[in-house]
Amino acid sequence: MKAELIDLAFVTAEGGGILKIIRKSSDHFQGFGELYFSQISYGAFRGWKTHQEMESFVFVLEGGVSFHFFDDYGACYSVNMHRALDSQEALRIPAGVNFGFKSNTPDGAVLANFANIEHRPDEAIRPPLKTHACGWEK
């Protein structure tokens, strides 16, 4: 299973617009556990992490974020995201996917995670950063 980009619906309205992130009838809705924001300093790497149960539905509120993923066979891939109001995209990260992320904008970034379960410290596996380089520089 891999992470996938989801196109979001933007509705033009008088005096602005509405970006629809998720609704109960969305194909990618997997339940609601919690919604939280992560602040990411420029160049700081957050990861590696493998959620065993949590499915994350993430979108960028400010700045830009580079996500990196690796599978159990050592194959790597990445996804770059920018502010959801501009890109109109979110990222679905299924449980069992190994990932990490960092801000790629000088002022840092803010990421939102709409998770299907509440965070539990024992739910995620955190392999050491040096275990899976995948092109990341320390």
Q: Is residue 110 part of a domain?
A: yes
What confidence tens digit (pLDDT) does each residue in 55-71 have?
999 999 999 999 999 87
Within a domain: residue 78? yes
What CATH number is associated with residue 83? 2.60.120.10
pLDDT at position 138, please? 44
Q: Are 91 and 5 in contact (CB under 8 A)?
A: yes
pLDDT confidence band for 135 (50 / 70 / 90): low
- Residues 20-47 have a mean pLDDT of 91
Residue 138 forms part of a structural domain: no
Assess if residue 35 is contained within a domain: yes
The answer to the question of residue 108 being in a domain is yes
Contacts of 103 (CB under 8 A, 6+ apart): 40, 41, 42, 43, 44, 63, 64, 65, 66, 109
pTM: 0.88
Give the total number of structural domains in the chain.
1
Residue 14 lies in a domain: yes
